[in-house]
Amino acid sequence: MTISFVGKVAIVTGAGNGLGRSHALELAKRGAKVVVNDLGGARDGSGASSEASQEVVRLIEEMGGEAISHGANVANFDEVQDMVQQTMNTWGRVDILINNAGILRDKSFSKMTIDDFKLVMDVHLMGSVNCTKAVWDIMREQNYGRIVMTTSSSGMYGNFGQSNYGAAKMAVLGLMNTLVLEGAKNNIHINALAPTAGTRMTEDLMPAEIVAAFAPEAVTAGLLTLCDDDAPNRFILCAGAGGYSSASIFETEGCFIPPNTQNPETVRQHWPELTAQDNQAALASGAKQGEKFVMKAMAFMKSQQQ
């Protein structure tokens, strides 16, 4: 079945270049009306220009699509609200939000300034929060919404020199996990994309021939499966260079230690049981962990009464 976005309105942040540009163009090719958001700054977040986003709008219009550009800084909630209001004034709805905008301020933690840490958190995490907050009530009222967070292997697994970026990219998964629960009754699906692509964010980190293999279009092919009518929910899709995989957080079944023996030495003694992966599972919510531990305690108490 062909994935179509006819009749849908999509906001793509950071859509002037790289992945965002690729996402915006492909959404438009498949029928979406697209808001091309880009502050137009450099890779480190400095400066601003509307040239890149306006060029994407021109390309969309040339192929017969509809698009508008907006230069909101996603870290500024007032600017984001203005972008969403302009979208509503133009098309009357917002169906899809792709939180893609990002910057890099890579340095080892010992050399990184607090300002560089905060700025990356502001753009990646608070940018995603601001944009999602601005469209949330609209999506709830129309009983439809598709939101994609952009995470990263740097957040899930770590990457030297990217403590700020990694922290922000893991944080958006925490945001996703709770919003999935809160948006379920209003048909709002939230997923995450973990891309590896040859963009200006990575161009000087990899040889040219490798950058060419990691074309943004390969990532966009995966992205489109996360924001259509049949999109999954709470899914982390990893994509790059033609490779696609999923990532999940699992928790082991664990063990129970009786109250009168709960000390660090006993916990260490139970390490093999505590870490055994044979019955590990993905938990539907944080409450499920507490539920699991309560059940273990109750089972122990019952065994003592027999």
* Enzyme catalytic residues: 165
Q: Which of 278, 277, 219 is nearest to 243 (CA)?
A: 219
CA-CA-CA-CA torsion for 279, 283, 288, 292, nearest 10 degrees?
A: 10
The CA-atom distances, in angstroms, between 42 and each of 14, 73, 107, 113 are 11, 13, 17, 19
3-state secondary structure the chain: CCCCCCCCEEEECCCCCHHHHHHHHHHHHCCCEEEEECCCCCCCCCCCCCHHHHHHHHHHHHCCCCEEEECCCCCCHHHHHHHHHHHHHHHCCCCEEEECCCCCCCECCCCCCHHHHHHHHHHHHHHHHHHHHHHHHHHHHHCCEEEEEECCHHHHCCCCCEHHHHHHHHHHHHHHHHHHHHHHHHCEEEEEEEECCCCCCCCCCCCHHHHHHCCHHHHHHHHHHHCCCCCCCCCEEEEECCEEEEECCCECCCCCCCHHHCCHHHHHHCHHHHHCCCCCECCCCHHHHHHHHHHHHHHHHHHHHC
